[in-house]
Structures are given as C-alpha cells and as structure tokens.
Structure 1
C-alpha cells in the first residue's frame, strides 16, 4: 500500500523546526573565549563583520555556532537592502546551481530548498530551473532571523585601523561618527571589495555624468524610455541591464564587446568540486597565478536563460568585435567610434566591471598600503605578468591579510572574505557554491587568531575553573576515612 509523503511545514513551522535542529546539534556551543582584562571589555567585539550580505551572514552564523558570543555585523544599507539583490543586481535567477548552496551546514531545515518548498510547494521546487534572485534575498533575511544575527544597519565603515592589540573601526551611523573596537575583523564586502565599480576614463572625461551609468549601480530606467542605449561589455551584467532597459521601454539596445564571439564554455564549473574549493590555498603560487590568468583570458558566458531572454527582446542588437575607440557629444546625442564606423546613442551603460584599487575602499584607508600584494610575493615569467592580479592582496590560508613589514602585524587580524581573495583562494571561495568548502577555512582562521591571543590566560583560566561534576557532601571524605576497610572474601 502506497503512502503519501508527509506534509511540508508552513513557513512558521519551518522556523521552529530549524531552531529545534540547531538546538539538537548543540547550537550555540559554550562560550570559550576569556573576557579581556582591562577597562571596558564589554566594548570590544570578538569579531566585527563588515557587510551583511550572504558571506557576512553565513560567517556570523558559523562563528556563533562555535561559541563566539559578541559578533557585530555592520552594513551601510537599510534593512532588506543588504547585498546587491534588491539594488543593482538585475538578473532573474542566480547563476549557481540550486543544489550547490553551503549556508545550511548540512541541516535540511536550514536549506533554501526546504524554505522554498514551505512557501511554494515541493513541485514548485522540482520545476524550478534556478533560484530567483528576490527569493534568494528573502531566504537570506529568514536565515538571519533564525540565527538571530545582530546586524547594525545604516553603518558605513570608514576605516579599520590598529588600536594597541585590537582593531578600531570608524563607523558613520545616522550622521554620527562612532568608534568600535574588535579583536578580529572580517571584510565580507562582496564583488567590489578590492576596489570600485568604475567607468572607463575615455567615457567619464568626454561626457557629463547624466549621460552614462555603470551597470552595477543605481539606474533610473524610467528616464530611459524611448532612448537608444549603448552597452559596453558581454558579461551577465551587460545582458541583465539590456533586458531591464528594453522591458522598461527603451527604443533599442546595442550590446557591444571586443571579443569576436561570446564565450561558450564556463570554466568556473570545472573548479566546483570539494577538493579544489576546500584546499585551493594549498596549491603552489605558480598554479594559483596561472589559474587566475586563465580566468582573466577565458571569462565566462552570460547564463543561458539570461542570454535567451535577451535575444527574445525586440530592439536588441549584439555587436561582437566592436570595441569603443572614442566618443563625443554631437547634436544632443552620443557618437561612439568603433572599427565598423560610428554608432549613435542617447545614453550609455558601462558593464565594465571593477577596477582593482584597495585605496578606493573607505574601510581600507589605513590598511591598503600595509598589506602584502601578489606582485610583491610572486614574480611570474614576463609573458605571464598581469598588473591587475599583482595588485590584489596575498592572503594567508585563512583569508587573513599578511603585513608588508613586521611593524604592521595587526593586519593579520583582518580577514578578506571578498573578491580580494580570488588569486589566493580561487574564484569560488566567496560565491554561493563555494561557501560550504571555503568558509570553514575563514572560521578556523578567526578562531585560531582569537585563541592565540588568549594563550597567556589559559593556565589562569584553568586554575580558576570551578564547575563541579561530582556532587557529594562536604564531609564525604572525612566520613569515608572513618569507615572500616572492606572485607575481601577468599
């Protein structure tokens, strides 16, 4: 006799079930880090996390699970606007396969699948080709609530600097400047954490600011109704913005790129295996450098669904082998020079990625020139040189910065779990598919740093430990000594 599957939990029941699972697995572990001696120990966080996107939240959950009790998460966005998901991200679905998610710590009731099924049903998940972007953001919000993660919204971190044996964060919040002390800091600042989204200077020098936008920034698409739009770039962001512009009413979009044809193969999929993502930092410097250069040369195609959706939009023209050689305003329009002749647009969108520039990050104002870079630690053959990769930080196996000089040893208390790590830890370490494998390295590194800092107090801590396990009367030993010796029978 066949039996029907058990009913799926409601969203409210799933929250309770997830918390019950956590409790059954010992969450959170007992606190283990001795309190700081000296004035104001309560004002010192064990870990300060900059960024409340997916990496920041999952890192905080893992650290809390391991018994850290004072974790503070700072994010400049308002509640619900953390990360790119409701701001500049315009893709319909995530690129990562829906089964390659590492946020759930092998607890099914914490998984995005169980969360999605509780809202839409098991068949809806089975039919889902990829996780919708807005559903992923809603899942992350639920995840933070399950773990009761303390996010301090509207908090822009302006600097991270040494303060004796600690790290000081300068934070602007609600128009006020605050100062927070922490033993360790995790920078979970995402895809622009090593620099800034920048428009090529040949565009910004030639046009007023209202004639162009970067694809990874706010864009008023309503203002572009009826406009002829030129997009430079061929990645997912270029196609996402083309779709949004045309669906909002743009007259046309010309998507221009330098390559003679779009990439067909996504080499990122080749690295998505447990061994590589877990032990990537143990590879030789030469191997990691060459892999990073390979990805720079090969790139990846736009997601298939995004590509097909874009091609279905009336008004889209793909222009391969069409680099922009120069441009100018003429008769109220923008004239762009290309090898095939001029193109005329009303507005430009630059899907040109991030410029690596540690000094451009406000939180790195003090730190940026004190950390070791790949260009200082590794000398490739001349034909394998790459200025962009050489400008990225050379991180240790736990994502910590390494100091240029012994005087700046404090930088090893700061961990770069963001795009800065792509040479040291591979292109997947901070992605959705990489969290399961790479994030434990970060957690072990933070905890190792905290333990070594507390090493001098371990013996006093043991000497002061006074939690009895054997409960007997105070005079038990005295009464025992007065007892007759036990009789032994032959």
Structure 2
C-alpha cells in the first residue's frame, strides 16, 4: 500500500521534531538527574540501565527513563542501524494489526504521536482515510521518535550473557568478533515476541527434511527461490497469510495454507482486554484469573488481519485448507509428502508459521539467569483440569516485570526486567504490544526507578543532612545586619520620642 507524501507540506518532519521538543520542554522534560554516581573508580562506565533491544519497546522505555532523570542509559541491538525490530525483516504484513487509535508511546504529547507524524508526511485526509498504519511507515515513525529523544542505539551488538558482578549486572556482548563486558545497575530485556524462547519448527518436520526444504516464517526466507515451486504453509495466523502472499507474489506455482482448526477464528480477543483498567492493573488480578485468561488466549487465538486474509483469498493458486493437520512429513524423490487426515499433499518447500517454543535456556542472554528465576509452574498450582505445560514454563514476574529469584541468595535477578513475551502470563498477552505501551511502560519504569532508589536507601538520610541549596539570596552577614536593625532606639523621658544619638 503506497501513500504519496504531500507536495506542499505545512511543516517538515524536522519542524515537527522541533515542535515536539518544545512541547516536552513545557512539560519539564527531562527531569533533573537524581541518581548520584557510584563511589567506585569505574563509576563513569556503569550504566544506570542497559536495555537489550532497540525496537519499539526499547526506545519507548529509554525515552521514559530519560524523562524521569536517568542520564546513563545504553540501548543494544543485534541488527544493523534502521533494522531494529521486526518491521523490515520478518514482519511481512502490509499494515499493523493494532487499531490506529490505540497507539500510545507518545506520553500524551500530541506532536510526538504517530498521527501527527503521519499527517505531517501525508496530510490530514490521508490519516482520515487510513484503516491501519502501514508497517514501513510505523518503522519510519519509530526512527523519527528515537531521533527526537536522541536515543543512541549500539547496533550489531549481540548480547551473550547477563550475570552478576558484585552489586552490579555484567552484560557480555559481541561486536565484530570482539567480546566485551559492560556494567549496569539494572537491565531491561526488550527482546520481543521470542524473548522467552525460540521460534519453533516441529521436530517431526525438522527431523525428516534437510534445512533447505523449510523455513520458519519468523526468520529469513528467500522468496525468489520459491518461484515455480509448490509451497505448503502450516499455520493460520498473520505470519502464515503474510508469507503465503509473499510466496505467490514471488512467483510460487501454488500455496496451500493448512491448519488444524475446522474454521478460522472470527474474533480477536485482544481487543476485549485493551481497556485502561485491564491494561494498567492486570498484574493485580488473582493468579487463578491470570492463568485462566492465558489458557483462554491459547485456545481462542486470534484471526489473521483482514487485509492479509482478503489479499490471500484474492490470489490465484492460493488454497485455504482448514481441518488439515499435518500428521507426518517425509522427503521423497519427487516431492515433500505431507500426510494429513484428508490424504497426502505434495510440496516442494514448506513455510512454518508455528510460533515460539517457551524455553529460557536457549536464550543466550539468559544463559546464567534462566535456572535462577521463578517459573509459573513452580509458584502456582492450577486447578484440576487447567494444567498447561507450556504456560508453566513462563517466568513468574513481579508487578514491575522483574524476575523473581528461586533462591533468596540470587537477589540480583530482580535487577533484570523482562519486557517481552516472558510476561505473557504475569502481565497478560497484550502488555508489551503496541497497544500496551501507554499503560505498561510506566509500570516498567516505576519498577526500574524503585530498584535504583532502594539501592540508595543507606545514603538517603546522610545526603539529606548534607544537602545545601541557596534558595534565599541572603548575604553571609545577614544576622549582623538584622541585629543592628532590631536595636531599639533610646527614648526621651520628657517626650517619649526617640532621642537623638550623640554625634548625630
């Protein structure tokens, strides 16, 4: 979907940036720094917060922390500059799923909003005509947003481990083959939808085929190589439809989209929980309710985006196959044979929209911490009939997205915050999504500031007693001047009036 920029804009995007900065200044951005340097020789090299991930969550969190007076914030991302997040890589839809009115990372500053950005670039009517925000425009807006807040992202930076080092957190990274360790007081993992594990290829497929015969849809796909091939897609969500469309547009001979359900979901339950009350106070719900909501979302799922569905159904050589679970896959001389309940299907290549496997141990940044954090399966006993092995593997986070240690001796893990898919059960299926930022980011920021304040508890009173601020412009000899001014003049006994001093 191509939208032409307006020919004679009222204002450029750089002008909008200046207006946004003026608005921020009127609202007191940024707050004065309040966190003193650590009393150690390397204090200048210790970050207040290291944020792992420079996508939409990472830059929004960094902006909020800067607003609240933190000076030393580092944002790390493994991708190249401009490629942070999924928007220019494995996200292949034309437009966002989130309604355009439920985007909330602008902190109620109108000139920071995606609407004002979009109207500046394309005009007011273009926004009025828009149903959903185009994916590539959303990424362009995020880059502009990061520029407004002067958020520097360290790119091509792979995080290999997060571990304790004294009373700090050591973040081990690799950049260009060089291994380095950076220190931080706190760490935020803004690592996206796969932050709690890895994109999953069912073992019965990966064991049967060579790796060049299949791709996970949330990874790199050489669509040009699919020209003239018969492609089988497993899955029914947004990723399945978007990749099917890309395959056919690249010249695939045919695409069959198969899924187990008898029919596609018609209703998106995420819209039902996107209320201020639910999204702000979700972690205050009881464990039973949160567990049951997570189970409901696992079973109900959500439909593909309307535009993706309509586009796929309009394409020749696209076939939708509901009630078609894949029971067995084998590589034959002529084709890949997929056994289903309705017979055998033959393909030349498979695209697997099979989601994420929850497994903290496979995440490199969690190499040290993964077996030290509490899991839902260890802290909560489901009612009879509501057990779920997948949900049990999610970490049990505190009310601010912080990890909770299994052993009190590993208290350092509470300095690490998981603003990613790890929060699915603890904070709900929506909280780290675009529509959740308005409500969830302030909670995460409160948690980080709370941790940093509690670390300083022992020095608060001494610093308070030593605090000096010349709020009143009083000279040093003020007491002497005041005493002289308050001296009572001698009075004449005859008249009662002030007497003339000698020498006057």
Q: Is residue 185 of structure 1 aligned with residue 187 of structure 2?
A: yes
How far apart are the structure 2 equivalents of 1:409 and 1:162? 10
Report the secondary structure of 2:435's partner residue. coil
Matches within 5 A, 1:75-474: 75-474=77-476
How far apart are the structure 2 equivalents of 1:80 and 1:273? 32
Report the secondary structure of 1:145's partner residue. helix
How far apart are the structure 1 equivalents of 2:14 and 2:94? 27
* 2:6 counterpart residue number: none
Report the secondary structure of 2:424's partner residue. helix
How many residue pairs get aligned? The number is 481
Q: By how many angstroms is 1:486 displaced?
A: 7.4
Shift in CA distance, 194/486, structure 1 to aligned 2, threshold 3 Å: farther
Matches within 5 A, 1:11-26: 11-26=13-28
How far apart are the structure 2 equivalents of 1:24 and 1:249? 54
The C-alpha deviation readout for 1:52-104, integer Å capped at 9, x for no partner, is: 01011101100100000001011001100000000000010000000101110
How far apart are the structure 2 equivalents of 1:36 and 1:460? 15
Q: By how many angstroms is 1:183 displaced?
A: 0.4
The C-alpha deviation readout for 1:446-470, integer Å capped at 9, x for no partner, is: 0000000011111222233223111
How far apart are the structure 1 equivalents of 2:137 and 2:163? 37
How far apart are the structure 2 equivalents of 1:225 and 1:284? 52
How far apart are the structure 2 equivalents of 1:35 and 1:12? 35
How far apart are the structure 2 equivalents of 1:329 and 1:19? 59
The C-alpha deviation readout for 1:110-152, integer Å capped at 9, x for no partner, is: 0000001111101111111100000000000000000001211
CA contact (8 A) 1:34 1:454 kept: no
Report the secondary structure of 1:384's partner residue. coil
Report the secondary structure of 1:482's partner residue. helix
How far apart are the structure 2 equivalents of 1:318 and 1:326? 19
| TM-score w.r.t. length of structure 2 | 0.94
How far apart are the structure 2 equivalents of 1:320 and 1:133? 28
CA contact (8 A) 1:265 1:300 kept: yes
How far apart are the structure 1 equivalents of 2:95 and 2:226? 24
* 1:4 counterpart residue number: none
* 1:3 counterpart residue number: none
The runs of 5 or more residues in structure 2 that have no matched partner are: 1-8, 490-504
CA contact (8 A) 1:51 1:187 kept: yes
1:62 to 41, 64, 67: 64
How far apart are the structure 2 equivalents of 1:401 and 1:73? 20
Report the secondary structure of 1:210's partner residue. helix
* 2:73 counterpart residue number: 71
The C-alpha deviation readout for 1:378-428, integer Å capped at 9, x for no partner, is: 000231000000000000000000000111111000000000001000011
Question: Greater CA deviation, 148-157 or 285-294?
Answer: 148-157
* 1:483 counterpart residue number: 485
Q: By how many angstroms is 1:478 displaced?
A: 1.1
CA contact (8 A) 1:71 1:150 kept: no
CA contact (8 A) 1:156 1:172 kept: yes
Report the secondary structure of 1:382's partner residue. coil
How far apart are the structure 2 equivalents of 1:329 and 1:78? 36
The C-alpha deviation readout for 1:274-297, integer Å capped at 9, x for no partner, is: 000000000000000000000001
The C-alpha deviation readout for 1:244-284, integer Å capped at 9, x for no partner, is: 11111111100000001111111111101000000000000
How far apart are the structure 2 equivalents of 1:485 and 1:346? 105
Shift in CA distance, 360/37, structure 1 to aligned 2, threshold 3 Å: same
Report the secondary structure of 2:294's partner residue. helix
| TM-score w.r.t. length of structure 1 | 0.97
Report the secondary structure of 1:423's partner residue. coil
CA contact (8 A) 1:413 1:449 kept: yes
* 1:29 counterpart residue number: 31
Report the secondary structure of 2:224's partner residue. helix
How far apart are the structure 2 equivalents of 1:157 and 1:458? 34
CA contact (8 A) 1:166 1:183 kept: yes
How far apart are the structure 2 equivalents of 1:366 and 1:11? 44
